[in-house]
A = this chain, B = another copy of it.
Amino acid sequence: MNKNRLEAFSDGVFAIVITLLILNVKIPHTPYHDLLQALTAMLPAISAYILSFLLIGMYWVFHHNAFTHIAQVDGVLLWLNIILLLFISFLPFPAMLMGEYPFTTIPVVVYGCNLLLANGTGFIMFLYLMRNKSLATPAFSAKVMKIQLTTYITVNILYIIAIIIGFYKPTISLIIFAVMAVSLIVRSAVTTGIGHRKRH
């Protein structure tokens, strides 16, 4: 499997999922004089839209970065990547649930499990690459591996904590998801380099 074609295919799926999210934000069908109130009631759905958009954007950036470490895609990486896309493509479903049943346990737990499965698949891809270094580029150095290992484990643990908390205080889980998204976005921006051409 050609690496560039797999990247292009994955980019297509990411671009489609991120854009399809808006289809879940259904316009209200009320008389006009109730419209403002109906739109206000949609704020949870709109927040779920924004959170999911940023999270999928973040996974896309991560996917791009991960692929800079892959020199050759073998059959295992190919199918792990398709399974990763399966979990990414599923995200609109719990996102819609969160909009329909705001601040409740079930949608938050399903959302968290979905994120955990996506992140866990990325983690397995990373571990597989560690054990099959002939598939990796020279950029996949010991230092990079250590940073990624720490990140994957931290993020997975935080997702598990957020899922467990979700059974008791779903709103706190949501705050954890949002804070994690913002932290990871800021971190990804810093890693990409800020205000100057990054050295290669």
Q: Are B75 and A193 in contact (CB under 8 A)?
A: yes
Contact present for A89 and B9 (CB under 8 Å): no
* A196-B18 in contact (CB<8A): no
Give the complex CA separation of A188 and B60 in angstroms: 25
Q: Tell me, in angstroms, the Cα distance from A100 to B96 when the chains sit together.
A: 19
A29–B32 Cα distance when bound, in Å, is 22
Q: Report if A19-B17 is in contact (Cβ < 8 Å); known contacts: A27-B93, A106-B35.
A: yes
A85 B23 Cβ-Cβ under 8 A: no
Q: Which residues of B contact A97 (CB under 8 A)?
A: 27
A residues within 8 Å of B by Cβ? 1-2, 5, 7-9, 11-23, 25, 27, 29, 32, 35-36, 39, 49-50, 53-54, 57, 60-61, 64, 71-76, 78-79, 82, 85-86, 89-90, 92-93, 96-97, 100-101, 104, 106, 110, 132, 134-135, 185, 188-198
